[in-house]
Structure 1
């Protein structure tokens, strides 16, 4: 095998080694933060369950139907919180791996997109926790008959909360997706405005799929989704690639 043939292979192997190292560092960061939060496992789960308990009658508690659920579910919550706290470092490792292969103008665009994506995802989770949960849980509890004691299972509650966090976190990423699509010329601002009616219908369809089957929670996902889409269209106007004037194209063709 010649030196020219060995060079690409060695480069590929070195990239794999670097990728493994950065994945290990990211995993260690998540595990370290999770372990640091483990002594506060009960308090963190109580904080997560506070919106539901606030909507239930005074003295209500969640149920643990599984044998090890009282330990496993709070541990899952701590792992989720640990991942969110360590996410900036995880994203830094991803950025450090791909940045050497980017051009300077790509780095200037990618870094703000990366940080904005993280901030918007956290904003979506915060909106869900501080606003959506309180409204939805009170509405659901209000429909319960007087003969029914509402005591959700903690495992089912965690699954519900995780799904809602992911749904609203992803929803708040819509402006980033719109800006990236426009910036790389995959779609134009005019086209985004043209498909606005379809997007509104799609927002309600998505909300109906990922939220509980009640109108209130669906509206609280669909409306922000529509508003964030409009915000993305507005910002995309400033990052859209400039089209060459027709006069320049004619001059270029004449010169040829």
Structure 2
């Protein structure tokens, strides 16, 4: 009976924590909706103030989409923190320390990613691809960017950035218990897995799959290069 009472107590605590996280997510959604225009302005290219729309409800659903993505992203972070606080009393000290380090590292990584890297990438990609539209010489081409299309491409970039940290962690863990020759031997299989994962999480078109799959392959190759340089560095230390 005592175990049953304890189980009910822990389930109630977990339920309350999830309710708090859900309420916080909903409140954040309504808060971001009050600043919806400012949020869209932040992700638009600098110096561009002209977009077109072709649907009556396009602007409304664009607002809803932006606010939902932001609120769910922060809500997911809140849920992870609540789960950690729920499990912490039952963890060993080293387990709690490792989980806390991963949690803090994840928050800092994504904070830096979206404050520094994300605006730089959107600006760079806009400058690269808009050049082709402005310099189309065979015929007179008027470039009028559509807001919904631009935000769709920004979402693809957001997916790449979201999966970057889990890919780095997963590859680092696999790297710890394997060797470099094994990674090089099965490089082709890893490419197939990367693009299969990209096909699973993106719309059914080759461009979207390439945009998501190529960074995973790039992380894979960077890990191999980093491991090689790190081993050479260790050898140099042993020689000295």
TM-score in same-fold range (> 0.5) = yes
Equivalent residues in 2 for 1:156-175, closer than 5 Å: 156-175=149-168
Whole-angstrom CA distance in 1 between matches of 2:174 and 2:4: 33
**Which residues of structure 1 form unaligned runs of 5+?**
1-5, 238-256
Q: 1:19 to 1:160 in 2, by over 3 A?
A: farther
Normalised by the length of structure 1, the TM-score is 0.65
Q: 1:11 to 1:196 in 2, by over 3 A?
A: farther
Whole-angstrom CA distance in 2 between matches of 1:36 and 1:176: 32
Which has the larger Rg? 1
Normalised by the length of structure 2, the TM-score is 0.69
Q: How far apart are residue 99 of structure 1 and its match?
A: 1.6
* Cα RMSD after superposing both structures: 4.0
Which residue, out of 136, 142, 147, partners 2:141?
Answer: 147
Q: Is residue 61 from structure 1 mapped to residue 56 from structure 2 by the alignment?
A: no
Q: How far apart are residue 92 of structure 1 and its match?
A: 2.0
Q: How far apart are residue 224 of structure 1 and its match?
A: 5.6
Q: How far apart are residue 165 of structure 1 and its match?
A: 0.9
Deviations 1:21-79 (A, max 9, x none): 1111111122222323332111111112x22x65xxx553142x333332231232133
Deviations 1:84-129 (A, max 9, x none): 4555543321211222232222111111012212332344445652
**Which residues of structure 2 form unaligned runs of 5+?**
232-240
- 1:80 maps to 69
Q: 1:208 to 1:85 in 2, by over 3 A?
A: closer
Equivalent residues in 2 for 1:213-252, closer than 5 Å: 213=207, 221=215, 225-226=219-220, 229=223
Which residue, out of 88, 91, 99, partners 2:80?
Answer: 91
Number of residue-to-residue matches in the alignment: 219
Whole-angstrom CA distance in 2 between matches of 1:102 and 1:233: 32
